[in-house]
Amino acid sequence: MKTLILILSLPTLLFAQMGYNLPERLDLVKVDGNLVTVRDTHTGIEDTYLIEGTPVINGWAIEPQQDSLIFELVADLDMYLVANLQSFDFEMDGLIELVGCDLLDGDVLKFLENDGHFNFTEVNRIDTSNILYDLGDGDRDGFIEILTKWDRSIFIYEQTNQHTYSDSLVWSITPLEGNYRVWPRYSDLDDDGFREVSFQNHIDYYKVEVHENTGDNEFDNYYDIPWPRIGPGQFASGDFDGDGHTEVVGGDDYGLLTVFETVISDSFVIVWQDYLDHPNAYMHRTIGDTDADGFIEWVSGSHDFSHGGFFFKVFEAIGDNQYEVIYYDSLPGNPWRLGGVSSGDVDGDGINEFVFSSNDNVGLYKYYQDTGWQRVWLVEDLQGTIIPYMVDTNGDGMCEVIIATSHIPNYTRIYKLVTTEISEHKKNKESLISIYPNPANNIFNIIVENDKYYGGKLFIYNVLGQKIYEKEILHQENIVWEAKDLTGKGVSSGIYFIKVSKGNLDLTRKVTILK
C-alpha cells in the first residue's frame, strides 16, 4: 500500500492529509477540487472520480443470505483475462474459443479453445498489447472482428477468411490525448442500419464519439453525442421504451443520469434525466428483458467513496421516454478499484440474469414472478480488481460466470450453474434451438436439434409480431443470422422471437439484441 505524501498545491495537500491509502498499482495524477485522477501503473489507464470528504473502504458488512442457485467451479486459469471477454467458434468445429487480454503475459490477446469439458488450450494469440472490448461483424462482410484498445489507440482485427481467427489488423485510430479508460463497442445508436465503433473520448469529456461504417473495414462517417457534464464512462443503449428508437444512457461525476434518443440519423435529443443518488455514476449496462415483461432494462451503478462501496439501480420504461427504478442493491468494496456489470442466461430459461461486482464481492441477480428480483448467488471477500463476465464458453446456450481478479492464484475462474429444474427441463423437453455465441454479439448461430422440424421453416419476428426473417430448415445445420431483416438491413436493439414451424408443430424462443 502506498501512502500519499504530496506538497504541490492546497487542494493536493488537503487531499493527502485525509489519511487514507491508495491501493497497489494506483498512482495519484492530479487533484482538481473534488475531482481526483489516478493512474493504473500497469496499463497506464487513468480514471477520474468525485471525492467529497474522507474516502471509506468496504463501508459495511454484507448480511448473510442463503444462496438459491448453486454454481460449481469448472475451470481456473493462471491468467488475468480482461476487459470484456468474448467467445466464438472461429473454426466452426463445434468448439468455442474464449478471447481475452492476459495482463500476466505481456498483455497479449489470447484465443483459448474449450474442448467441451472446460479444459482450455491456447490456440492463437496476438502478440501486441491489446485489451479486448467487443466482437462482431462491424462492416457486415461475413468475417468476424474483434475490437480492442491499447494506450491511446483503438484497433480492429478481422478474420482473413472464415474458419480462421480474428488476428489481421484492418483498422485503427488514435483519437485520445492520453491513456484514458474508454469502452469502445460496436453499435447502431442512430438506427440507420450501419454499424459503428462508439466510445467516450476523453479529449472532450462532453461527448460520445461515433465512427460509422462506410465500407469494407472503413469507419469514416463521424458524428458525436454531446454530453451535459463530465461522463459518461460506460454507456448503455437500446430501445428501452419500445417506440422503435434507440436510447443512449450515461451518467456523470455527480450521479446525474441522462437519456438521449435518436431523432434522425446521426442526431439525438435529451429526453429524460434523473439522479442516481450516488456520485461517480460511470457503470451502465443494458441487461435485456430480465423480468420477461416485453421491455429491456438497464443497470446504472456508481463508486461511492463516502459510503465505501458500489450502488446500482435497475431502470425500466413506464411510458414513452419515462423510466422508473424497479430494483436496487449495493455491495461494499474499494471504490478506487473497478467494478463491473454483465448479463446472460445461466439457467436456460431464455431470460437473462445479471451480475454486479464491487470488486471485493460479486452478486448474481435473478427475477422471479412471485418475489421479484433476488440476489441468488454471492462470492464474497475477494481481493483486487474483480471484473465479472457472463459468457457461453461451451456453446450449450447457457452462460458461465467468469470472475477475473488481479490478486488470487488462478486469476480467472469459471463457474457453471449446477443442474436445476429449469436446465433439466430444457434438456429433457423436445429440444428446440441451440444459440451461440452470446446474443449480445448480434451474430446468432442457430441449430434446430429436433428432426420433427426438418423440412419446415425458421421464422424471426420482432416484438410487434412483424416477420423480419425466414429460412428453410433442411436438416440439422448451423443457420447464421446476422441480425438483419429480409431486405438485408440491420435490425435495431430489442426483443425478437425465433420460431420453428412444420405443419401443426411450432416452438418459439426469445432472444434480445443489445446495441
Question: Which residue type does 123 have?
Answer: V
Please say whether the dihedral angle defined by the alpha carbons of residues 118, 119, 121 and 126, taken in this order, is positive or negative: positive
pLDDT digits (tens, 9 = 90+) for 187-223: 999 988 899 999 887 655 578 889 999 999 999 999 9
Per-residue pLDDT of the chain (515 residues; tens, 9 = 90+): 343 433 333 344 344 434 446 888 888 888 888 888 888 888 888 888 898 878 898 888 887 666 678 888 999 999 988 888 999 999 999 999 999 999 899 999 999 999 999 999 999 999 998 999 999 999 989 999 999 999 889 999 999 998 999 999 999 998 776 677 788 999 999 988 899 999 887 655 578 889 999 999 999 999 988 887 766 578 999 999 999 999 999 998 899 999 999 988 888 999 999 999 999 999 999 999 999 999 999 999 999 999 999 999 999 999 999 999 999 999 999 999 888 999 999 998 889 999 999 988 999 999 998 888 999 999 887 877 788 999 999 988 899 999 988 776 668 999 999 754 444 434 434 445 666 545 456 778 787 777 788 888 888 988 667 789 998 888 777 788 888 888 888 888 777 888 888 887 777 777 777 76
**Is 125 within 8 Å of 107 (Cβ atoms)?**
no
> Which secondary-structure segment (H or E) carries 126?
strand 120-129
C-alpha span between 313 and 299 (Å, rounded): 6
What DSSP string describes 438-495? -GGGS-EEEEE--GGGTTSEEEEEETTS-EEEEEE--SS--EEE-SB-TTSPBPPSEE
pLDDT digits (tens, 9 = 90+) for 345-365: 999 888 999 999 998 899 999
Answer whether the bond into residue 439 is a cis peptide, omega within 30°: no
What DSSP string describes 349-414? SSS-EEEEE-SS-EEEEEEETTTEEEEEEEE----S-EEEEEE-SSSSS-PEEEEEESSSSS-EEE
Q: What is the 3-state secondary structure (H, E, C) of 287-305?
A: EECCCCCCCCEEEEEEEEC
pLDDT digits (tens, 9 = 90+) for 460-489: 988 667 789 998 888 777 788 888 888 888
- The full set of domains in the chain, from first to last, is 2-41 (no CATH), 68-78+227-427 (2.130.10.130), 430-513 (2.60.40.3080)
**Is 236 within 8 Å of 228 (Cβ atoms)?**
no
CB within 8 Å of 66: residues ≥ 6 apart = none
CB within 8 Å of 177: residues ≥ 6 apart = 152, 202, 203
What is the phi/psi pair of residue 316, to 5°?
A: -145, 150
C-alpha span between 186 and 223 (Å, rounded): 15
| Residue 12, beta-bridge partner list | none
Question: Which residue type does 407 have?
Answer: H
Distance set, CA 385 to CA 178, 377, 397 (Å): 22, 19, 28
> Which secondary-structure segment (H or E) carries 423?
helix 421-428
Distance set, CA 200 to CA 150, 313, 459 (Å): 15, 22, 37
Q: Which of 122, 114, 77 is nearest to 94 (CA)?
A: 114
